[in-house]
A and B are shown apart, each in its own frame.
Chain A
Amino acid sequence: MPSNSLERWHRERADALDEMESAHAIIGGTQRGRRYAVQQINYGYAALLSSHFQGFCRDLHSECIDHIAAAMPRQFRVFVRTEFVWNRKLDKGNPHPGAVGEDFNRLGIDFWRTVNALDARNARRNQLLTELVNWRNAVAHQDFTAVGGSATLHLNRIRGWRRAVGALADAFDRAMYNHLTALLGNAPW
């Protein structure tokens, strides 16, 4: 059974991202004006993918806190909850691997080492997540220096990022499931 956060990723968030695929299909073509429109959709798609992945990570972090807090005496729960979200990177910034790791490490797990141990491909997916976030920033600031200088972004590249962060979402869910099961003594979801 997946976490509520992962279910949301596979349903609501996937639906929103699929809308970008549909928009791409409607606008697609080879004429110059259309190519420009497609490029803008690709920018929007990349930004939305980054945003939804950030939302998933934040949801999963909150869901895990809820489980940890519920295992504590009632009078301590609010203190613990407040501390875990204090200065949380995922509330403010992009889902850069460093930010994701920093937030989840606070829950008592060596996050990326655990995720990478689940599947050898996750290290490469971590790099692809960095690439996605760099592109998201390049689009947001219209400065493409950090992504090699070219402003051209192809749909296949975004689809590759989507597959990568989708696999990471599954891995994050599994890593936190294992961690909370060990920590709390029973399966969280």
Chain B
Amino acid sequence: MPKTTSTRKFRKGDRVRFQLGTRWVAGLVTEDRGAIGMGGRRLYTVEFRSDAAAAPSHVELPADDLRPMPVPAGGR
């Protein structure tokens, strides 16, 4: 059983990055799904584009698979 991460690490609107195959892509947290994952870990819905021209896709990921993106100067 993996270590659970049921506490909230991200919020809707947070910019994150995660590994898609062998590369890292940026995404936006669109929903906190709650502690419904394996072992009670928290899942987040993340919207992302696999490349700049692609339509947005969605994925649900545990917090451990997400890294926060630095907030740009001047706000989110």
Contact = CB atoms under 8 A, between A and B. Distances in A.
Indicate whether A and B interact. yes
Interface residues of A, number: 20
A4 interface: yes
Contacts of A63: 36-38
Contacts of B59: 78, 81-82, 85
B11 interface: no
Interface in B1-51: 2, 18-22, 33-38, 40-41, 43
Contact of B38 (A8, A67, A74): A67
B58 A85 contact: yes
Size class of the contact patch on chain B: 20 to 34
Contacts of B57: 82, 86
A28 interface: no
Contact of B58 (A5, A79, A82): A82
A62 B37 contact: yes
Given A4-B35, A188-B38, A62 B60 contact: yes
Contact of A78 (B20, B36, B41, B43): B20
A65 B22 CA distance: 21
A8 B34 contact: yes
Interface of A: 4-5, 8, 59, 62-63, 65-67, 70, 74-75, 77-79, 81-82, 85-86, 188
